């Protein structure tokens, strides 16, 4: 059992090391432009939607389903929210709340057909892709722009620097005016340190809980190595973000961070989360064990609808406009993030941490290839190859473990 746990952890570290390797490769290929603080800030902005959608898509995939409609739903909800602010002059907070409610209704629509009518999710969400893309084109027949500053700040704003700026101890290593020699945003540094402490405390409590219940745990040395690697990664990102000239900590990063914490808790510590894994791992067995599989299926699609609405608000806020063409290929990025992060094609397997790392890999690929001015068609081809390689590697690894 300990050997299996170590192997599982090594696979998780493997995907993290792959992310680090990709960042290093693109950092050299772009001559450092990828990791310039302002570009890192833009990376968070541009790829927040991938992280948000991946959280919901992960639960859908774990349960053995797929959702092809999220890109179209993002466009539809973004169009509705934009229309309310642009045409009806609705307060942006009320427009956002309405968008979230619409997302829940869309999720309930999909969940009804999948859970109770028993139509395969592939067919239901394929129909949803066409339906909501068409509705988006009807609502956003023309581009709508000029939204309130508060709405635009959701994806484009940053938290106020309440702690002031701190002299950069490494400024002397860089030339005057270098983007890496700027003063450090105090609030951003504080958030990074709090994040590291919280991560260590949470994982230590989880380990103690497993030991108290007689469950097997991996070696403490491996946990310490994990703490060290994640702490260094968080410190580096925090350091770079704290120097950006656009602002301090992006508001959208806080939104994404809170969602990640919530869904990590839901998937690992709640009854509903355990039921999702049970349904995806063995639907008949879960049914015989008393799990209401229809309710689980309905719940994951309602949840997907909610997160799609959040992604729609973030996407529309970042663009500063509502257009019918928004959300193109968003579903592919979300699905790819989950599979790259270790989710099983057959369901029952996957973790929030893996989906987040997968989403970051997709984000770095998007940003790096764009900085290198790689044609968009080649970008799609490269991401497709990365997805195929990641899933193939996972399947080969599982087969070897089964034989062993």
- pLDDT band at residue 66 under the 50/70/90 scheme: very high
Residue 381 lies inside a defined structural domain of this protein: yes
Calculate the CA 213 to chain-centre distance: 31
Q: Is the dihedral of CA 189, 190, 195, 197 positive or negative?
A: positive
Residue 208 lies inside a defined structural domain of this protein: no
Q: What is the pLDDT of residue 72?
A: 98
pLDDT at 10 over 60: no
Residue 238 lies inside a defined structural domain of this protein: no
What number is the average pLDDT over the span 117-126?
Answer: 97
Q: Read off the pLDDT of residues 219-234 as tens digits, 9 standing for 90 and up.
A: 888 788 888 888 888 8
Residue 190 lies inside a defined structural domain of this protein: no
Residue 8 lies inside a defined structural domain of this protein: yes
User: Could you tell me which residues come within 8 angstroms of residue 154 by beta carbon, excluding any fewer than 6 positions away?
Assistant: 96, 251, 252, 255, 313, 314, 317
C-alpha to C-alpha distance for 311 and 298, rounded to whole angstroms: 20
Report pTM.
0.93
Q: What is the pLDDT of residue 260?
A: 94
Q: What is the pLDDT of residue 181?
A: 85
What number is the average pLDDT over the span 45-67?
Answer: 96
C-alpha to C-alpha distance for 30 and 12, rounded to whole angstroms: 27
Q: What is the pLDDT of residue 288?
A: 93
pLDDT at 8 over 80: no
CATH of residue 301: 1.10.3470
pLDDT at 346 over 80: yes
pLDDT at 1 over 50: no
Higher pLDDT, 268 or 11: 268
Residue 82 lies inside a defined structural domain of this protein: yes
Q: What is the pLDDT of residue 173?
A: 82
- pLDDT band at residue 4 under the 50/70/90 scheme: very low
The helix/strand/coil state of 346 is: coil
Best CA proximity match to 14, nearest among 226, 176, 270: 226
Q: What is the pLDDT of residue 282?
A: 94
Q: Read off the pLDDT of residues 359-395 as tens digits, 9 standing for 90 and up.
A: 999 889 889 999 999 998 898 898 888 888 877 776 7
The residue range of the domain holding 91 is: 2-157+250-403
Q: What is the pLDDT of residue 64?
A: 95
110: region left, alpha or beta (phi > 0 left; psi from -120 to 50 alpha): alpha
Residue 168 lies inside a defined structural domain of this protein: no
Number of folded domains in the chain?
Answer: 1
C-alpha to C-alpha distance for 43 and 45, rounded to whole angstroms: 5
Share of the chain above pLDDT 70, in %: 94
Best CA proximity match to 355, nearest among 108, 65, 60: 60
Q: What is the pLDDT of residue 246?
A: 66
Q: What is the pLDDT of residue 255?
A: 96
Residue 178 lies inside a defined structural domain of this protein: no
C-alpha to C-alpha distance for 319 and 144, rounded to whole angstroms: 11
What number is the average pLDDT over the span 262-273?
Answer: 93
Q: Are 266 and 275 in contact (CB under 8 A)?
A: no
Higher pLDDT, 6 or 266: 266
- pLDDT band at residue 2 under the 50/70/90 scheme: very low
Q: Read off the pLDDT of residues 315-337 as tens digits, 9 standing for 90 and up.
A: 999 999 999 999 999 999 999 99
- pLDDT band at residue 403 under the 50/70/90 scheme: low
Q: Are 346 and 399 in contact (CB under 8 A)?
A: no
Q: Read off the pLDDT of residues 244-263 as tens digits, 9 standing for 90 and up.
A: 766 778 999 999 999 999 99
Higher pLDDT, 117 or 204: 117
User: Could you tell me which residues come within 8 angstroms of residue 21 by beta carbon, excluding any fewer than 6 positions away?
Assistant: none
Q: What is the pLDDT of residue 6?
A: 47
* Average pLDDT over all residues of the chain: 89
C-alpha to C-alpha distance for 232 and 245, rounded to whole angstroms: 23
- pLDDT band at residue 3 under the 50/70/90 scheme: very low
C-alpha to C-alpha distance for 188 and 48, rounded to whole angstroms: 18
pLDDT at 279 over 50: yes
The helix (run of H) or strand (run of E) holding residue 160 is: none
What number is the average pLDDT over the span 277-301?
Answer: 96
């Amino acid at each position: 059992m300990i050997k299996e746990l170590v192997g599982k952890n090594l696979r998780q570290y493997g995907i993290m090391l792959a992310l680090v390797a990709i960042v290093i490769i693109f950092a050299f290929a772009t001559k450092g432009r990828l990791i310039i603080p302002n570009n890192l800030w833009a990376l968070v902005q541009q790829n927040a939607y991938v992280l948000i959608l991946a959280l919901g898509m992960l639960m859908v995939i774990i349960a053995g389903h797929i959702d092809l409609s999220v890109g179209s739903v993002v466009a539809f909800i973004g169009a509705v929210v934009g229309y309310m602010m642009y045409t009806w002059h609705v307060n942006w907070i009320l427009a956002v709340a309405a968008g979230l409610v619409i997302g829940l209704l869309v999720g309930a629509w999909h969940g009804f057909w999948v859970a109770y009518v028993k139509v395969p999710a592939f067919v239901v969400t394929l129909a949803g892709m066409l339906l909501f893309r068409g509705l988006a084109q009807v609502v956003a027949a023309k581009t709508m722009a000029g939204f309130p500053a508060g709405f635009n700040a959701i994806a484009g704003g940053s938290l106020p620097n309440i702690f002031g700026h701190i002299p950069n101890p490494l400024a002397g290593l860089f030339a005057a005016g270098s983007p890496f020699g700027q003063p450090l945003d105090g609030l951003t540094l504080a958030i990074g340190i709090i994040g590291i402490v919280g991560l260590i405390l949470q994982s230590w409590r989880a380990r103690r809980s497993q030991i108290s219940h007689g469950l097997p745990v991996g070696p403490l040395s491996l946990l310490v190595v994990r703490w060290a690697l994640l702490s260094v990664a968080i410190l580096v990102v925090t350091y770079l973000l704290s120097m950006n000239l656009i602002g301090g900590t992006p508001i959208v990063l806080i939104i994404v961070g809170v969602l990640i914490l919530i869904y990590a808790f839901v998937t690992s510590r709640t009854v509903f989360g355990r039921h999702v894994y049970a349904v995806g791992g063995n639907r008949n067995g879960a049914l015989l064990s008393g799990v209401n599989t229809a309710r689980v299926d309905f719940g994951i699609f309602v949840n997907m609808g909610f997160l799609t609405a959040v992604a729609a608000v973030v996407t529309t806020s970042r663009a500063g406009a509502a257009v019918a063409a928004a959300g193109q290929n968003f579903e592919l990025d979300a699905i790819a993030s989950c599979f790259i992060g270790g989710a099983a094609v057959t369901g029952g397997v996957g973790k929030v941490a893996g989906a987040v790392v997968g989403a970051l890999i997709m984000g770095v690929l998007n940003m790096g290839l764009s900085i290198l001015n790689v044609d968009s068609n080649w970008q799609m081809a490269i991401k497709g190859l990365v997805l195929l390689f990641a899933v193939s590697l996972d399947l080969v690894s599982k087969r070897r473990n089964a034989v062993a």
